[in-house]
Amino acid sequence: MSKQFLIVAAAIFIAATVVGGTVGTNARRFTPQPKGNASTAEQIEGDYQEAMDVVGKNYAGDVDYEKATQASIQGMLSTLDPHSMYFTRNEFKKLKEDQDSRFYGIGVTILQHRDGVYVQSAVKGTPAERAGLRYGDRIIEVDGKDARDWSSEQVSKNVRGDRGEPVRIKVERAGSSEPLNFTIVRDAVPLPSISNTFMIRPGVGYIGLTRGFQHTTGEELGASIKALKGQGMRQLVLDLRNNPGGLLDQAIDVASEFLPRGQVVVSVRGREYEQPIQYRSKGTDPEEFPLVVLINRNSASASEIVAGAIQDQGRGLVVGETSFGKALVQRVYQLPLGAGLTLTTAKYYTPYGRSIQRSYASGSLYDYYTRHGDGDEANANASPKSQPSPDAVPTPTPVPTPPPGPAVKTAGGRIFYGGGGITPDVEVKPLNATPLRSRVAEAAFQFTRQLAAGQIPGLETYRIEKTEYGHVLRATDYPITDKVLEAFRNFLRKDPTLGVQPAQVDEELDFTRLRLRDEIITAAYSTDAGSRVLLESDPQVLRAVELLPDAKRLAESIRNGVTLS
């Protein structure tokens, strides 16, 4: 299976477990109800027990009954939908940690590179920062176990643990002749929803709500808006790209920052409700500045609730790519001995009644998570491509192919379609990824690892002793000069395994400059600072900024009761 499938599926599996907003224990015994000529509950239970007896008596090896039972439960749930899931004790513990917006570990962001897992940045105020872990440290051992061939997920799993317990980590550091050993005591590590808050242009704020909807999300957003308004913000780009979702009540809180009190944010329909339950905005003094919401194909669940509410109510523009299309609501049930499961108990709908759930009728999780089906491709190509003129209010372009769901008329008479995710008002593709650019990015990391360690002759001023957190980024910080570029070309000549020829640097000169500066700024000022470098050149973010005047006209038209066409 592809790497894309594994990453997207893992993220949305976790997010799906908390969108119902409740965690509880269901101690009732469930008795299957026969349908038609189906087997009775006693027959089903008897068949299962008999199968286990046959396996236990006749299987050639040892039987792990716990693992077999877990597989049986997950197999049952997988016949229902892609988001009903079983969690082992350790998985369920991690799920609850993610809900709490923190976990116990050492506090580093790590990335998988061609020859191992490396520290990208230590989180401010965490045990890793206090111990002295740095950008570019290659993790080679964890508690005496060889980690050279581990994935980033394996490293993360092994460095997490109980609070107050030590973990021993050995790293290779550029410029050090011998590996370095650290003993780090695990502690609480913050896991905020908002990754970045800054002024991307004079008067224009950017908030990156990209890490899921957790217990602190609403508070974080309020604090970020307050901070940006103190810096003169009058317009906002809210980034929900790659946000896999999370707690329903936090999605309501986020939407309430922008919608008038009492407006519908989302409705929920399920077998436990006689009538649909409507969740309304709680905002007593909502923000009225122009708003653009960014989404992409990995925006799911709670992030789609927010984007759908903003779009349906005409509060702002939605820009980017069609979202994932996850509208199933899970309730979390804790099972005996610490395990748990999530079960789809309802579906949610946008304020004007759109269901945005994509079809999972094929039964293939791979197709579902990688969008390889023909219908998905058609739906993606059907996204509106309207380019608003300065005096026009954007409205979705008619979908040229048969829509996946019924047409729904929303605020101002704008028409959207259900059944295939949130379709943006204006479609904007991300920066094009090519094999050469991937190799350039990897080479830029390997080069910067040496540069930040002071190992590149003639560029010793780029040596970084310690990460400086909270730095206000300036264009003059660590510029990528011609001298740096020439040193990078020389680095490529000495290491042909990187797969980049010096001449190819000139083919991708702007991209090379961008990636080199991203890496050196990450080393100097943390991951969030490095992300700002990329965001300031991001084609989707730049288009979002351009569309803020149109978002203003849209919201004003809706407030004035204008019908759009």
Q: Residue 419's pLDDT is what? A: 81
Q: Both tokens of residue 279?
A: 């969740």
Q: Residue 410's pLDDT is what? A: 94
Q: Decide: helix, strand or coil at residue 80.
A: coil
**Which is nearest to 119 in space by CA: 485, 401, 448?**
448
- Cα–Cα distance between 97 and 91 in angstroms, integer? 10
What's the sign of the alpha-carbon dihedral 172, 173, 176, 182? negative
């009775």: which residue's tokens?
40
Active-site residue flag, 53? no
On whether the 102-190 domain is CATH 2.30.42.10, my answer is yes
Q: Residue 401's pLDDT is what? A: 46
Query: Mean pLDDT in the chain?
Result: 85
Q: Residue 360's pLDDT is what? A: 77
- Cα–Cα distance between 553 and 311 in angstroms, integer? 14
- Cα–Cα distance between 180 and 166 in angstroms, integer? 16
What are the tens digits of pLDDT across the range 499-535? 999 999 999 999 999 999 999 999 999 999 999 999 9
Q: Which of 312, 376, 425, 528 is catalytic?
A: 312
Is the Cβ–Cβ distance between 344 and 84 less than 8 Å? yes
Phi, psi values for residue 334, rounded to 5°? -85, 130
What are the tens digits of pLDDT across the range 169-219? 999 999 999 999 999 999 998 889 999 999 999 999 999 999 999 999 999
Q: How far is CA 340 from CA 9, 69, 85, in A?
A: 19, 13, 9
Q: Which of 101, 170, 256, 326 is catalytic?
A: 326
Is the Cβ–Cβ distance between 328 and 280 less than 8 Å? no
Is the Cβ–Cβ distance between 163 and 185 less than 8 Å? no
Q: Decide: helix, strand or coil at residue 174.
A: coil
Burial class (CB in 10 A: 0-12, 13-18, 19+), 414: buried
Q: Residue 66's pLDDT is what? A: 83
- Cα–Cα distance between 522 and 519 in angstroms, integer? 5
Q: Decide: helix, strand or coil at residue 283.
A: coil
Is the Cβ–Cβ distance between 307 and 300 less than 8 Å? no
Q: Residue 102's pLDDT is what? A: 62
Parts of the chain with a pLDDT under 50: 1-31, 372-402
Q: Residue 230's pLDDT is what? A: 97
């000069």: which residue's tokens?
481
């509208």: which residue's tokens?
327
Report the predicted TM-score, pTM, of the whole model to 2 decimal places.
0.83
Q: Which CATH superfamily is domain 194-326+351-430 in?
A: 2-enoyl-CoA Hydratase; Chain A, domain 1 (3.90.226.10)
Q: Residue 33's pLDDT is what? A: 52
Q: Residue 38's pLDDT is what? A: 58
Active-site residue flag, 565? no
- Cα–Cα distance between 342 and 539 in angstroms, integer? 37
Phi, psi values for residue 31, rounded to 5°? -110, 115
Q: Residue 99's pLDDT is what? A: 60
The DSSP element (H or E) to which 304 belongs, if any, is helix 302-312
Q: Residue 23's pLDDT is what? A: 31
Would you kindly state where each structural domain of the chain is located, as residue ranges?
Answer: 102-190, 194-326+351-430, 435-537
Region of 360 please: left (phi>0), alpha (psi -120 to 50) or beta: alpha
Q: Which of 84, 193, 281, 301 is catalytic?
A: 301
**Which is nearest to 250 in space by CA: 301, 295, 322?**
301
Is the Cβ–Cβ distance between 13 and 301 less than 8 Å? no
Domain 102-190 and domain 194-326+351-430, same fold? Reply is no
Active-site residue flag, 374? no
Q: Residue 274's pLDDT is what? A: 75
Q: How far is CA 156 from CA 91, 187, 296, 339, 501, in A?
A: 13, 14, 26, 21, 34
Q: Residue 30's pLDDT is what? A: 44
Phi, psi values for residue 415, rounded to 5°? -105, 130
